Each structure stands twice: as structure tokens, then as C-alpha cells.
């Protein structure tokens, strides 16, 4: 019997993982594939991919900026643009920026999104580490 979410697709794990077992390539299915895709999108710097130079975000640019309302708006805008262009399977409901750990060099971005095909709401917590030792 086919999984009810199989229409959401599946994709390779990132980074790719290989083994000599029956399933040599690790794959992610359904909602986890979308979640991994969002993590890759947020982790990729704009210009990093040769054939898609506009893929990714420029979140690293804000590393040394004062985190005020303007900067929060710019971060949210960069994420919204990237998700709109490169993850059509979801619609963003909201983005929250949690500054509770900023003194420790961590900015937490929380994405709340809805998977368009099945109308399931999901949440992704994405940390940005400003400490170069991580």
C-alpha cells in the first residue's frame, strides 16, 4: 500500500550518505524532504552554487550588524524571498526571530509554514551561529 503522503516526494539526504546495505543511498521522504530542503536553502550562501547563483540566502551578511528591528526585517525578507523562489511546496505563515541566545552567539530563526499539497502546518527551528568556533 502506498503512503498517503507519497505525492510530496522524496530526495537525497544532505550531505549524501551511502552504504553497502540493501538501500545504498539515504533518502528523506515527504515532510522530512521538505524540511531538509529548507535547511539547505537557509544554509547556502547566495552565489555558492555555480549553476544557480541566486539560490540561497545572505543570512551570513548580518553576522556583524546590530540586531535591531530594521535588521530583523531584512533577515525575514531574505528568508521570505528565498522560500518563495526555491521552495514552492510550502507557503510561509510567519517567521520569528528569537534573540534569547544572542549573547552566546546564536540567533534562532523559527519558520512556520504550511505544506501546500496536504495543508499540513510545520515548524522549523534554524540556528545561526555567529561564533566561529561552532
Q: Does the residue 94 lie in any domain?
A: yes
Do residues 95 and 72 make contact, with C-beta atoms less than 8 angstroms apart?
no
Do residues 90 and 114 make contact, with C-beta atoms less than 8 angstroms apart?
yes
pTM, full prediction: 0.78
Q: Does the residue 1 lie in any domain?
A: no
Q: Does the residue 2 lie in any domain?
A: no
pLDDT one-digit tens code per residue, 53-104: 999 998 888 877 888 999 999 999 999 999 999 999 999 999 999 988 888 8
Q: Does the residue 25 lie in any domain?
A: yes
Q: Does the residue 3 lie in any domain?
A: no
Report the CATH number at residue 80. Answer: 3.10.450.40
Count of domains observed in the chain: 1
Give bridge partners of residue 127 from the DSSP assignment. Answer: 108
The grid coordinates listed for 52 are 544557480
DSSP, residue by residue, 112-130: EEEETTTTEEEEEEEEEE-
Q: Does the residue 134 lie in any domain?
A: no
Amino acid at each position: 500500500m502506498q503512503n498517503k503522503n507519497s505525492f510530496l516526494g522524496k530526495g537525497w539526504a544532505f550531505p549524501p550518505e551511502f552504504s553497502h546495505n540493501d538501500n545504498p543511498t539515504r533518502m528523506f521522504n515527504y515532510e522530512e524532504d521538505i524540511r531538509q530542503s529548507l535547511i539547505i536553502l537557509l544554509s547556502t550562501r547566495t552565489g555558492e552554487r555555480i549553476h544557480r547563483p541566486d539560490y540561497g540566502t545572505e543570512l551570513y551578511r548580518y553576522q556583524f550588524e546590530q540586531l535591531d528591528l530594521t535588521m530583523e526585517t531584512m533577515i525575514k525578507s531574505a528568508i521570505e524571498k528565498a522560500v518563495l523562489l526555491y521552495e514552492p511546496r510550502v507557503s510561509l505563515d510567519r517567521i520569528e526571530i528569537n534573540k534569547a541566545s544572542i549573547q552566546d552567539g546564536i540567533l534562532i530563526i523559527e519558520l512556520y509554514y504550511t505544506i501546500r499539497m496536504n495543508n499540513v502546518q510545520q515548524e522549523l527551528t534554524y540556528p545561526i551561529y555567529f561564533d566561529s568556533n561552532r
